Amino acid sequence: MKILISDPLHKKGIEIFKKEGFEVEVQTGLTPEELKKAIKGAHGLVIRSATQVDQALLEAADQLKVVGRAGTGLDNVDIPAATAAGVVVMNTPGQNSNAAAELALGHIFSLSRHIARGHRGIMEGKWEKKELRGYEVKGKTLGIVGMGNIGRILAELGAGVKMQVIGYDPYLDAAAIKARGAEPVSFEDLLVRSDYISIHVPKTAETSGLFSAANLAKLKPTAFIINCARGGIVDEAALCEALDAGKLAGAALDVFAVEPLPADSRLLFAGQISCTPHLGANTYEAQENVAVAVAQQMSKYLKTGQADFAVNAPK
């Protein structure tokens, strides 16, 4: 059986596929039309966030049985179309959670102490010591939206630096949120109480635009917002308006509605904002972890029919 890898994958994942006896073809950076040709004869497709698995690609596939996402987010996969086509879709939750949580905490420190702006100023010949007075995180309230694996780890990290951690997750009850290290609160309470809000939910119909102008207006003017989840959960135009009007202390974004971020994006000109180029899972450890996990899961499914971490159930 053949495995097509259409996005970069750590070599250990490739080695596992080969050891399991699969024919492995690595073709990254393909156009949609090129990918439609490459998918012919493939029984498994390995992707990350770049490849778009849409109905057109699924219709072009003549042997496809499984799509494996080396990572968590699946907003680039048409899951209903895959289900209709009889294709299992699976991801690797938890394998890059530590990396994403650590990045979120890094952004919290960077915003609090103006690390990015301070560096930029020095590179421009400035010495803005007086202008860049910051905040300590000790004793501040960290609000986590989404208490899954990443949220749980961030709660532990936040508690470790003596922050007061509160959490909201509509899919977990109060006892589960408390067990994950956060005081359970409503979404409204989290908006009002938090000094820092860190977002860790998937992008869905319910979460798209969740941080709208109306919800951003409920935050303290001294609050910071961090999004290392998915672009589009925060209304970028509304965020820029709030920052420019001084209604928020700052924001850090690792993800954007359009990636790469366009050169004319208003975010590049907003005040008190720090941006990184979707680095959430981009550590050596996380890349190896997700590659090994997706290779093991897909190999097991193709050989035994057992679909670990499948997000659909084709008939």
Average pLDDT for 216-231:
97
Average pLDDT for 119-148:
96
Q: How far apart are CA 281 and CA 10, in angstroms?
A: 13
* List of domains in the chain: 2-95+284-304 (3.40.50.720), 97-275 (3.40.50.720)
Q: How far apart are CA 272 and CA 260, in angstroms?
A: 20
Q: Residue 284's pLDDT band (boundaries 50, 70, 90)?
A: very high
Average pLDDT for 300-311:
97
The pLDDT of residue 271 is 82
Of 247, 249, 173, nearest to 216 (Cα)?
Answer: 247
Determine the distance from the C-alpha atom of residue 154 to the mean position of all C-alpha atoms in its chain, rounded to a whole number.
Answer: 14
Average pLDDT for 125-136:
96
Determine the distance from the C-alpha atom of residue 202 to the mean position of all C-alpha atoms in its chain, rounded to a whole number.
Answer: 7
The pLDDT of residue 295 is 98
Active site residues: 230, 259, 278
Cβ(228)–Cβ(280) below 8 Å = yes
Burial environment of residue 107 by CB neighbours within 10 A (0 to 12, 13 to 18, 19 or more): buried
**pTM for the predicted model, two decimal places:** 0.89
